[in-house]
Amino acid sequence: MYVLRGLINRLQANIFARLFVVGPGTQRGPELHHAQTYWKVYVHAIYIGISQAQPEWHDKIFLHCDYLYGKRDFGAVRLRAPDIKAEIVERLGEMELVMSDVPAIIHGSTVEDKCELYRFESHCLDEPDIPPGSWYFRYELDYEKDNKNVVHGKIKDLNPTLCKCGKTYNPNTERQVYCLSCKRWAHIECCKENGPRFHNSKDTMTFANKLACAPRTRGITDAEDPDDWTLVGSGRRLGEYCTWLKSNPNAEEDDVKEYFESNFGEQFYHALMTDLELPGMCCPRCERAL
């Protein structure tokens, strides 16, 4: 993914050309590829050639790319329905971008820097970690023409990511739990409590096995700073722990603590212990215990 500077003048058949503008007073520098003032694109191909539309472009280096929109960029995007803007755009993360199918051919001189972009499959349980402060995307925006030949945007493949309440996951303010039965994420506040997490029949369960049964969660925690797993959830890390536990069935509490802190850090272990204190819950879809 590349971030852009300057204005692409008279870009043929591209109504969004004016958006490649750095804000007034912005100074370029090594840290600027993280700044919100830059527009960002996903580059599909780089070409060397001559532009008949832009003969003044002498460098002959062109990039075929699609636009990526951040939360503050959607003022220039016409969405199909107002509720999309309310339920999707306003619930995007601070570093979240939305991939679009708006193609562009841009000149190589407009490239400012390269920055990392992570894909977040938000319906999955075992997503790889995404470091805090990294750019990521989970949604794609498709453009279609209506019967009046007006172009509108819609979010692609949205349904699998929704809780039963119909709202998307807001990583800034919410916490979700994963149902291993129906394989969906749900907001914790949408789940019904069903008593203690571990009943009397499970009092003999070892500490190591209780941690293996901890709920798979994601979202805000009581930690001062987010961790690499906070956005995507604890599913992958707990899956790795369960694999380790099969090879260490007699692990004691100190062994388990050492495993988590050496592999994932003290903060994750603390969050896991906090999750164990959550009450028992039922999935709002299938009503299975979480």
pLDDT class of 3 with cuts at 50, 70, 90: low
Q: Does 81 or 227 have the greater pLDDT score? A: 227
Question: Given the structure tokens 């700073």, which residue do they identify?
Answer: 225
**Interval 84-101 mean pLDDT:** 80
Round the average pLDDT of the chain to a whole number and report it: 78
Q: Does 72 or 184 have the greater pLDDT score? A: 184
Res. 63: pLDDT tops 80: no
Q: Does 171 or 263 have the greater pLDDT score? A: 263
pLDDT of residue 205: 83
Q: Which of 34-48, 173-187, 265-279 has the lowest mean pLDDT?
A: 34-48
Q: What predicted TM-score, i.e. pTM, was given to this entire model?
A: 0.79
pLDDT of residue 55: 60
Percent of the chain surpassing pLDDT 70: 73
pLDDT of residue 34: 47
pLDDT of residue 52: 60
For residue 272, what is the DSSP state? H
> Beta partners for 137?
97, 119
Q: Does 175 or 68 have the greater pLDDT score? A: 175
pLDDT class of 265 with cuts at 50, 70, 90: very high
At CB < 8 A and 24+ separation, what contacts does 253-262 make? 253/207, 253/208, 255/208, 256/207, 256/208, 256/211
pLDDT class of 68 with cuts at 50, 70, 90: confident
pLDDT class of 122 with cuts at 50, 70, 90: very high
The residues, ordered by sequence, that sit 6+ positions from 140 with a Cβ below 8 Å of its Cβ are 98, 99, 100, 101, 155, 156, 157
Q: 204: helix, coil or strand?
A: coil
pLDDT class of 58 with cuts at 50, 70, 90: low
pLDDT of residue 46: 77
Look up residue 245 and give its amino acid. Answer: L
CA distance 41 to 1: 6
pLDDT in tens, 134-192: 889 898 887 776 665 555 667 777 778 889 998 889 988 999 999 999 999 999 999 98
Rounded to an integer, what is the distance from CA 110 to the centroid of its chain? 27
DSSP string, 32-94: GGG-TTS-EEEEEEEEES--SS-TT--S-EEEEEEEEEEGGGGGG--BSSHHHHHHTGGG--T
Tally of CA atoms within 13 A in the half-sphere of 39 that contains its CB: 26
pLDDT class of 200 with cuts at 50, 70, 90: low
**Interval 229-239 mean pLDDT:** 96
Q: 274: helix, coil or strand?
A: helix
100 φ, ψ (degrees, to nearest 5): -125, 170
pLDDT of residue 73: 75
pLDDT in tens, 252-261: 999 999 999 9
